[in-house]
Structure 1
């Protein structure tokens, strides 16, 4: 297969680059989601609160992960320090 024939127009090259960017963003989000789940499970929260945060993370994957890292994680470790 000749690469020049595959990408013989700028539109095809741009589309290929766009798919690569979307793929990288999805891989990054998946890594962040996995880190959030591991962080929730390893946090010093009670079983009930851990379960609540896991349900939030799985039901609203983007917002749940964002909420955990912005609100839940710091709150969990502040409560454990008291």
Structure 2
């Protein structure tokens, strides 16, 4: 019976990681599209977000967003 609870806990943890990654991906995609970047840089960030679904959004929120909005945000 205890093994069954471990299996449910592991499945819930995996589901939480997958859902969190998907939410991060969608938030980054929306943020890139709403940013003041125009033309080529928007396309580069969207492509990077699509090609690297975890690393792309993470880098956008750490570096891209601050450079797009400057020091105002």
Query: What's the TM-score once normalised by structure 2's chain length?
Result: 0.91
What is aligned with 1:27? 19
Pairing partner for 2:50 from 58, 69, 82:
58
How many aligned positions are there?
A: 72
Residue 41 (1) aligns with residue 22 (2):
no
Structure 1 moving runs of 4+ over 3 Å: none
Superposed CA deviations along residues 12-44 of structure 1, whole A, max 9, x for unmatched, are: 210111101110121111111100000000000
Query: What's the TM-score once normalised by structure 1's chain length?
Result: 0.81
Taking the aligned partners of 2:53 and 2:20, their CA distance within structure 1 comes to 13
Taking the aligned partners of 1:61 and 1:30, their CA distance within structure 2 comes to 8
Taking the aligned partners of 1:11 and 1:22, their CA distance within structure 2 comes to 16
Taking the aligned partners of 2:24 and 2:52, their CA distance within structure 1 comes to 14
Unaligned runs of 5+ residues in structure 2 are none
Unaligned runs of 5+ residues in structure 1 are 1-8
